[in-house]
Structure formats: structure tokens, C-alpha cells
Amino acid sequence: MVESAAHGWTAADLNETIDSWAKAHRIAPNPKRPIAFMRWLMKRQDLTFAPHILAKIAADQDEAVRDRQAVQLDAARARYADAAAEDSPGRQAARLVVRRVTDAARRRKTEAVARDNDTQPVWITHLPATASPGVSGV
């Protein structure tokens, strides 16, 4: 156990090792001699790479892959951004589609608000003095 601590293993790493062994063998670890079991289990581990170190390496590799993909995506966007001239038929068609979609969305929103206004009751809290029946203006 001292060897694992010298290599930077933590309690969480030991628990991870026990859990991995239990999953691999499909049995719950319930040894009669826990210290002997841990020594036996640790002899089968590569002490230079604790589970938290391996997890950090994997996370760094995933981050590097995401960064590389982001750079490739930015390069592709830059290539396509200036692919067509400002007044090309493709850009004009795209602008027309965007305009139609925007107008349709605005129209749907207006209709939805109108429907909501039609279905909500209107409460009259006061009447103007000239509209009251039977009340004469002084």
C-alpha cells in the first residue's frame, strides 16, 4: 500500500480499482483478509498510472480532439463565408428564404397573440361618466 501512495494513488483510486475488479469478476468484494486482498490486487496494477491520472489523460485527449474539430469547423466556415459574391443568385435566394421565414414567424406570433387576446376575458372596471345610463351630467 505504501508503494501506491508513493506513486500518488488516492483513496478514490483504490476504490475505483476495487470497483473495476468487482465489475470484471461480477462479484462483490468481501474478502476474509482485506489487507491481503488489497496487496494481491495492487500487485496486478500499474502503479505509475493511477486511475485519476488515466482519467485526466483521457479528458485531455478528448479536449484536444474537440479543439481540433473546432479549428477545422472554423476553417470550413471561413472557406465558405466568401465562397459566393455579395450579389450572387445564391445569396439573393438565401436572403429571400430568410425574409420569408422571418415574415412567417412574425405573422404566426401576431396571430397567436390575437387568439390569446380573443380568448381572454376583458374586465371593465369603470365606465366613463357620459356612458352611464340614468346619470345626468350636471
- Longest C-alpha distance within the chain, in Å? 106
Res. 28 pLDDT band, cuts 50 70 90: confident
Average pLDDT score over residue span 100-113:
93
**Cβ atoms of 63 and 18 closer than 8 Å:** no
Whether residue 64 has pLDDT greater than 70: yes
Q: Is the pLDDT confidence value at 78 over 60?
A: yes
Contact 52, 13 (CB under 8 A): yes
How far apart, in whole angstroms, are the C-alpha atoms of residue 21 and residue 17?
Answer: 6
Per-residue cell: 120 = 381572454
Inform me whether the pLDDT recorded for 106 exceeds 90.
Answer: yes
Residue 137: pLDDT over 70 = no
Helix (H/G/I), strand (E/B), else coil: 40: helix
What band does 91 get if pLDDT is binned at 50, 70 and 90? confident
Nearest to 14 by CA among 59, 32, 34: 34
pLDDT at 100: 95
pLDDT for the residue 86: 77
The average confidence (pLDDT) of the chain is 82
CA angle, 67 as apex, 62 and 71 as ends, to 5°? 150
Contact (Cβ atoms closer than 8 angstroms) between residue 2 and residue 42: no
Task: Check pLDDT > 90 for residue 68.
Answer: yes
